[in-house]
Amino acid sequence: MTIYKKAVSIGGKNSTDKAKHEREKNMPQDTALFFKGIGGDALDEPVPNYIQTSSEKIYKGSNNTWLVFGRDRPRSRLSGYGGLGDTQAGSIDIVVGRLGADAKSFTQGGKRVWVDPDVKKDAARIYISQKTDIDENFGLADGGVGNAKTKSGIAIKADGIRIIAREGIKLVTRTDKINSQGGDIAAAVGIDLIATNDDKDLQPLVKGENLREALERLATHVDKLNGIVDSLLMYQNTFNEALTHHTHYGPAKIIGAGPAFVWETTPSLPVVSKGIKTMVDHLSQTKRSLMVHKANLGVFQFSYLNPAGGKYINSRYNNTT
């Protein structure tokens, strides 16, 4: 269920602000519109007070909008690499709506509300840092890409994020051999698409062209197997027909004594010849075809279903839940 905050809220303003609001209600309509913000005019609303460090330069708007130039600081003044005193940890924090739905400038007791950056509550943020632990700061699952430590990072967070291009969008990794800290980039790191910040069922994305080719080849192998079985059936059917209609001509040898007798007849020459031909066909055709087919299936499995295969159907780097 979606919960909506009411359109106008002055909760958390001090007593002077509330008195001003009462006066606005008794103003002429044209004058009151100025204070109510309609048409983009000025609007007086509660804004928390930011705990600023001596190294930070702040540009602040009237409607809880902030641009902070400073050093890596995801939370309190002691957090991040700025809090540790590291150099080369410059940051730019663009924030709208500090404290989000709980935004207020004063408590009920009339005390000012002072806040640090809050990646959980703040309504929307673009955070840029020269040196940071970007995944840990925003509580992100490791995924296949991993948990970036002591590296430059950019995080964008809001209720809804849309990236729009009139022509095309590219998500590209590993464009350089050295990272921002001067370290070698040895491993090829891909792209993870993780829903609900849960990477327990993270799997490789399928490469469409390779999958299509794999299915086509699999269909070909199945068709060839059908042909092999059909040939086997025809060979066997020829022999079965000979057995069904065979008869024996010639003297019979009586074996045994007493009330029961067994006649041993001469071999059926047509059955013998057909049987020999069927065995030869099985060995020379069916058996050989099955061996070739099995080898082809092995090549198929390695090429398309093994990560070392040249046409592996899964992406080696990009994953999704």
Check residue 244 and give its pLDDT. 61
Instruction: Identify the CA nearest to 56 among candidates 74, 76, 78, 71.
Output: 71
Report helix, strand or coil for 298: helix
Specify if 15 maps to a domain.
no
Give residue 110's domain range. Answer: 46-168
What is the C-alpha radius of gyration for the chain, rounded to an integer number of angstroms? Answer: 40
pLDDT digits (tens, 9 = 90+) for 240-250: 676 766 666 65
Neighbours of 97 (CB within 10 A): 21
Q: In the chain, pLDDT over 90 holds for what percent of residues?
A: 40
Q: How many domains does the chain have?
A: 2
- Residues 80 and 158 placed together within one structural domain of the fold: yes
Instruction: Identify the CA nearest to 83 among candidates 58, 125, 54, 113.
Output: 54
Check residue 10 and give its pLDDT. 61
Please check the confidence at residue 258 and state whether its pLDDT lies above 80. no
- Residues 62 and 124 placed together within one structural domain of the fold: yes
Specify if 186 maps to a domain.
no
Check residue 200 and give its pLDDT. 92
Specify if 200 maps to a domain.
no
pLDDT digits (tens, 9 = 90+) for 38-56: 767 777 788 999 999 999 9
Average pLDDT, the chain: 84
Q: How far is residue 90's CA from residue 12's CA, in Å, rounded to a whole number? A: 33
Last residue of a domain, one of 168, 200, 220: 168
- Residues 55 and 154 placed together within one structural domain of the fold: yes
Last residue of a domain, one of 137, 168, 199: 168
Specify if 219 maps to a domain.
yes
Residues 6+ apart with CB under 8 A from 84: none
Check residue 111 and give its pLDDT. 94
Specify if 237 maps to a domain.
yes
Specify if 222 maps to a domain.
yes
Residue with tokens 């958390």: 12
- Residues 217 and 136 placed together within one structural domain of the fold: no
Last residue of a domain, one of 116, 150, 168: 168
- Residues 143 and 227 placed together within one structural domain of the fold: no
- Residues 147 and 220 placed together within one structural domain of the fold: no
